[in-house]
């Protein structure tokens, strides 16, 4: 009887609250080179950043719903759409049909009206909003989103960036000096709704597919963000984003790239992350075919290897003291990162 009681208590803290329930859980759902990142707070409040692709018999909605189930939640409180490309907003109708959603958050109107794909997925998303079933927030830089249990601050939206530095930011960025002026991107990418998420001492940066031209506005000559613990690699690690001015300026401990086998995971962006000062590890949702053996991380840090796709995910569990772990669902292994 005593042995049974002891094993039951094994997974609990002294307070009787399961340890995972005191942590912020973040699932990097494999949507094959799109984005779907699910945050669940200790109180069970949830934020999903992007919904993956449309089509594929609801594959991405199924994978997001599986992550939600694993986290023990039955609805998604907030779904943030970074921008109106099919690998981000495309999965929204299927997701909403699969699991209840409270509020959608976005940057406002589609700005890439000359693109048939963007117009189509934006139209489907507008139809969803027009159903009247959901709350809707159009977010602006500087705003803090009404999510409890973690702080979600908007740093970029609709081509605008925060005017003033955040706490922890405001220093000159020494990585700007030799930065070539990036081309101006006229798609929805630089419109991405980017956020800095803070949970206790942990800082996590997600800029969607924000391109290098906007990274310069955010990071040069002054680094408005400061350093972060976890960088969700912009644009799936595609070379148009993830400049040294951004990545070396925020100097993450850990970077996670939500690339697919044939999407994102560019050699140039990979090199920038690998050379980032203070980087402890880079994790990838997929092996990148473009990267080849020289520009991919080792197997323990890959959720999906080459070959038939298994939809494996990565999961961060973060504690308020600044410590966190990364779990690879393919290997079943967890790596710990101590508080600094
Ligand atoms: Zn994308």
Cα 209 to ligand 1 centroid, rounded to whole Å: 6
Mean pLDDT for the chain overall? 94
Cα 286 to ligand 1 centroid, rounded to whole Å: 15
> Strand (E) positions, 43-172?
46-49, 76-80, 101-106, 135-138, 151-157, 160-161, 171-172
Query: Is 191 exposed, middle or buried (CB count within 10 Å of its CB: 0-12, 13-18, 19+)?
Result: buried
Q: Choose among 321, 338, 224: nearest CA to 280.
A: 338
Cα 41 to ligand 1 centroid, rounded to whole Å: 25
Cα 9 to ligand 1 centroid, rounded to whole Å: 43
Cα 12 to ligand 1 centroid, rounded to whole Å: 39
Cα 236 to ligand 1 centroid, rounded to whole Å: 6
For residues 283-304, average pLDDT:
98
Q: Dihedral angle at the C-alpha atoms of 213, 215, 217, 220, nearest 10 degrees?
A: -110
For residues 175-196, average pLDDT:
91
Degrees, nearest 5: CA angle 124-128-129 = 120
Cα 157 to ligand 1 centroid, rounded to whole Å: 15
Strands 76-80 and 46-49: parallel
Cα 185 to ligand 1 centroid, rounded to whole Å: 14
Q: How far is CA 224 from the centre of its chain?
A: 19
Cα 54 to ligand 1 centroid, rounded to whole Å: 13
For residues 79-98, average pLDDT:
98
Alpha-carbon distance 301 to 96, whole Å?
31
Q: Choose among 99, 104, 210: nearest CA to 159.
A: 210
Cα 198 to ligand 1 centroid, rounded to whole Å: 23
Tokens 């609990």 belong to which residue? 12
Kindly indicate the confidence band of residue 20, based on its pLDDT and cuts at 50, 70 and 90.
low
For residues 234-248, average pLDDT:
97
pLDDT in tens, 55-65: 999 999 999 99
Q: What is the reported pLDDT for 82?
A: 98
Alpha-carbon distance 190 to 157, whole Å?
8
Cα 187 to ligand 1 centroid, rounded to whole Å: 12
Cα 258 to ligand 1 centroid, rounded to whole Å: 9
For residues 280-305, average pLDDT:
98
């Amino acid at each position: 009887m005593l042995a049974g009681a002891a094993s039951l208590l094994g997974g609990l803290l002294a307070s009787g609250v399961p340890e995972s329930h005191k942590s912020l859980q973040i699932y990097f759902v494999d949507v094959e080179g799109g984005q779907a990142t699910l945050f669940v707070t200790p109180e069970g409040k949830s934020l999903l950043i992007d919904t993956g692709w449309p089509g594929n018999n609801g594959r991405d909605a199924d994978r997001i719903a599986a992550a939600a189930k694993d986290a023990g939640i039955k609805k998604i409180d907030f779904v943030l759409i970074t921008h109106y490309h099919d690998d981000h907003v495309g999965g929204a109708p299927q997701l909403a049909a699969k699991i209840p959603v409270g509020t959608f958050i976005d940057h406002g109107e589609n700005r890439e009206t000359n693109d048939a794909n963007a117009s189509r997925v934006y139209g489907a998303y507008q139809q969803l909003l027009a159903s009247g079933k959901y709350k809707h927030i159009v977010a602006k830089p500087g705003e803090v989103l009404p999510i409890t249990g973690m702080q979600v601050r908007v740093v970029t939206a609709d081509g605008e960036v925060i005017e003033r530095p955040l706490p922890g930011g405001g220093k000159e960025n020494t990585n700007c000096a030799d930065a070539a002026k990036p081309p101006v991107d006229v798609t929805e990418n630089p419109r991405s709704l980017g956020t800095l998420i803070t949970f206790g001492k942990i800082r996590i940066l997600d800029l969607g597919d924000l391109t290098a031209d906007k990274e310069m506005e955010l990071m040069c000559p002054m680094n408005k963000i400061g350093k972060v613990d976890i960088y969700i690699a912009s644009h799936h690690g595609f070379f148009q984003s993830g400049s040294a001015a951004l990545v070396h300026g925020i100097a993450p401990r850990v970077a996670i790239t939500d690339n697919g086998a044939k999407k994102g995971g560019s050699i140039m962006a990979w090199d920038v992350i690998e050379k980032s000062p203070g980087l402890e590890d880079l994790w990838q949702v997929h092996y990148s075919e473009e990267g080849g053996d020289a520009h991919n991380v080792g197997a323990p840090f890959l959720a999906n290897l080459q070959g038939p796709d298994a939809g494996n995910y990565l999961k961060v569990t973060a504690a308020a003291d600044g410590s966190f772990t990364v779990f690879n669902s393919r290997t079943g292994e967890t790596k710990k990162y101590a508080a600094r």
